[in-house]
Amino acid sequence: MIRVRFAPTPTGNLFVSGLRVALANYLFARRNSGEMLLRIDDLDPERSIHADQIMQDLRWAGIDWTNSFRQSERLELYQDTIEGLKKDKFIYPCFESDEELKAKAEFRRKRNQSPIYDRAMLKLTDKQRMDAEAGGKRPHWRFKLSGRSLEWTDMILGPRSAMLSAVSDPVLVRADGSPTPILASVVDDINHRTTHIIRAEDNAGNTAVQIELFQVLRGPQPRMRFGHLPALTDSQVGSATGGRRTGSLRSLRADGVEPSAIATCLIGKLRDGDEPLSLDELAQRFELADLTASRFDITRMLAINRNVLHGLSFAAVADRLPPGATEAFWLAVRGHLDLLNEARGWWDVVAGTIVPPVVEGARDLLLTAESLLPAEPWGNDVWSTWMTALEQATGQTGDNLLGVLRLALTGEDSGPDLRGLLPLIGRPRAASRLIIAAS
């Protein structure tokens, strides 16, 4: 059974880059009939205040999980592991303060030496340790690396290697006795029988250390497999409406980006074009090796989102449209929105008060258009009736006529078909706007 996990640290919002990791794990599990675990890495409880929000965002994106837990609930398990590591002398106590460690590293750098930890505390005698603790000092504990060379194949990045002799012995236990994330993560992966670790590339530097720690704690079991996603070069997504610079799912959702548009842009191949893909479709064609692209194309996401919105029924969006918006309104505008919240502006056009610009050189045309507006009630054929009369009266046709009328009626030079908008605008608003634009 293939088992993966998504392990967010809930100190902030879930961003596009984090969703990409979650999607990679979720789709990999689905493609291979496996399971995905959601692990909340909340070892820092004072900062871990967004766990529920992250779970809500994941569900909004269509991602579910087989099981979930919080690391803060498993401190006893970590302590048992720590005691075992101490007993078997895989970790050793260190009493240097942060300032002392920084001074040591700077000393070595000035002499063109590697800034790795010098293992000075391995020479500590029992008496020296007892004296330090008697003086009020509490040690942190480091994992004594073997110094050997490791080789493995990353499922995305390919062959990798590392010399553990070139790596500082990592701290696994803080001075207050609590585990560091690297220890807790390995313990959890062993406990839940994780088979594949798929995560962001910024975690790749820990892989060699984790491989050695896995082997110390688990023994010569089948090797854990790793896959690291290249960092997104444009993970901060610009809001197309508000000018904000943010990549949080909350802001994208508020702007009216649909989850399938984000997922398709993050996971779908460019050859799939701008057609939205469901998670079922993405899972069917999912390959980890395809996730080598590092650019998040915002323009493509908006194009995909436009296609998603165009296919949504009124019932699917009614509760997210402006109060009073009708099905006729939605059908008129849905093919012309990059973001759902753009519907608010078009609702103002058809049901609110806007002041169109004065259209230079079009006064006579606009006044004639106002005088020829058909009497109400208006049906769906009002646009055709009005245009036929206007063309006959002015001799004008085509884009020039359409452009003047669009600017006068909507205040915009592009947008939904006026054939659908005019009946929604109604005669009083249309007449008023034509006169203002002719002023």
**CATH code for the domain of 298:** 1.10.1160
pLDDT band at 220 (very low <50, low <70, confident <90, very high): low
Of 265, 292, 317, the one marking the end of a domain is: 317
pLDDT band at 115 (very low <50, low <70, confident <90, very high): confident
Which residue matches tokens 């340790």? 129
Distance in angstroms (rounded) separating the CA atoms of residues 431 and 375: 11
Same domain, 358 and 429: yes
Q: Which long-range contacts (CB under 8 A, 24 or more apart) does 358-365 make?
A: 358/436, 358/437, 358/438, 358/439, 359/404, 359/407, 359/408, 359/437, 359/438, 362/404, 362/408, 362/437, 362/438, 363/438, 363/439, 365/394, 365/396, 365/401, 365/404
CATH of the domain at 372: 1.10.10
Read off the pLDDT of each residue in 28-37 and give the average, rounded to a whole number: 97
Distance of CA 422 to the CA centre of its chain: 39
Query: Which domain covers residue 279, as residue numbers?
Result: 249-317
pLDDT band at 223 (very low <50, low <70, confident <90, very high): confident
Same domain, 286 and 378: no
Q: Does residue 282 carry a pLDDT above 90?
A: yes
Beta strand pairing call for 196-200 and 3-6: unpaired
Distance in angstroms (rounded) separating the CA atoms of residues 385 and 380: 10
Read off the pLDDT of each residue in 194-222 and give the average, rounded to a whole number: 90
pLDDT band at 270 (very low <50, low <70, confident <90, very high): low
Same domain, 303 and 355: no
Number of domains observed in the structure of the chain: 2
Read off the pLDDT of each residue in 314-325 and give the average, rounded to a whole number: 96
Which residue matches tokens 């990045």? 157
Of 317, 337, 370, the one marking the end of a domain is: 317
Which of 24-28, 199-203, 215-219, 353-357 has the highest mean predicted lDDT (pLDDT)? 24-28
Q: What is the dihedral of CA 325, 330, 332, 337, to 10 degrees?
A: 110
Give me the pLDDT at residue 54, please. Answer: 96
Task: Let me know if residue 34 belongs to a domain.
Answer: no
For residues 437 and 359, the answer to whether their CB atoms sit within 8 Å is yes
For residue 378, give every residue at least 6 positions away whose Cβ sits within 8 Å of its Cβ, in sequence order, or none.
422, 423, 426, 427
pLDDT band at 111 (very low <50, low <70, confident <90, very high): confident
Task: Let me know if residue 143 belongs to a domain.
Answer: no
Distance in angstroms (rounded) separating the CA atoms of residues 399 and 419: 14
Give me the pLDDT at residue 243, please. Answer: 39
The identity of residue 280, as a single letter, is: D
Task: Let me know if residue 395 belongs to a domain.
Answer: yes
Task: Let me know if residue 53 belongs to a domain.
Answer: no
Read off the pLDDT of each residue in 332-342 and give the average, rounded to a whole number: 96
Give me the pLDDT at residue 241, please. Answer: 37
Which stretch of DSSP H or E encloses residue 152? strand 149-154
Give me the pLDDT at residue 82, please. Answer: 98
Q: Does residue 236 carry a pLDDT above 60?
A: no
Read off the pLDDT of each residue in 245-272 and give the average, rounded to a whole number: 86
- Nearest CA to 30 out of 52, 62, 77, 71 is that of 62
Same domain, 256 and 340: no
Q: Does residue 235 carry a pLDDT above 50?
A: no
Read off the pLDDT of each residue in 389-414 and give the average, rounded to a whole number: 91
Q: Does residue 242 carry a pLDDT above 90?
A: no
Task: Let me know if residue 418 belongs to a domain.
Answer: yes
The number of beta carbons lying within 10 Å of the beta carbon of residue 373 is 19
Distance in angstroms (rounded) separating the CA atoms of residues 147 and 47: 35
pLDDT band at 18 (very low <50, low <70, confident <90, very high): very high
Distance in angstroms (rounded) separating the CA atoms of residues 175 and 39: 25
Same domain, 280 and 258: yes
Q: Does residue 244 carry a pLDDT above 90?
A: no
Tell me the backbone φ, ψ of residue 375, rounded to 5 degrees: -70, 150
Give me the pLDDT at residue 214, please. Answer: 95
- Nearest CA to 208 out of 182, 190, 230 is that of 182
Give me the pLDDT at residue 246, please. Answer: 47
pLDDT band at 108 (very low <50, low <70, confident <90, very high): confident
Same domain, 338 and 311: no
Give me the pLDDT at residue 58, please. Answer: 97
Task: Let me know if residue 410 belongs to a domain.
Answer: yes
Global confidence as pTM: 0.89
Of 269, 293, 317, the one marking the end of a domain is: 317
For residues 333 and 384, the answer to whether their CB atoms sit within 8 Å is no
| Better pLDDT: 45 or 51 | 51
Task: Let me know if residue 208 belongs to a domain.
Answer: no
The number of beta carbons lying within 10 Å of the beta carbon of residue 111 is 6
Give me the pLDDT at residue 221, please. Answer: 64
Distance in angstroms (rounded) separating the CA atoms of residues 130 and 389: 101
Q: Tell me the percentage of the chain whose pLDDT exceeds 70.
A: 96
Distance in angstroms (rounded) separating the CA atoms of residues 180 and 173: 6
Same domain, 332 and 433: yes
Asked, as a colleague might, if the bond just before 259 is cis with ω within 30 of 0, I would say: no
The per-residue pLDDT of the chain, averaged, comes to 92
For residues 262 and 301, the answer to whether their CB atoms sit within 8 Å is yes
Task: Let me know if residue 358 belongs to a domain.
Answer: yes
Same domain, 308 and 333: no
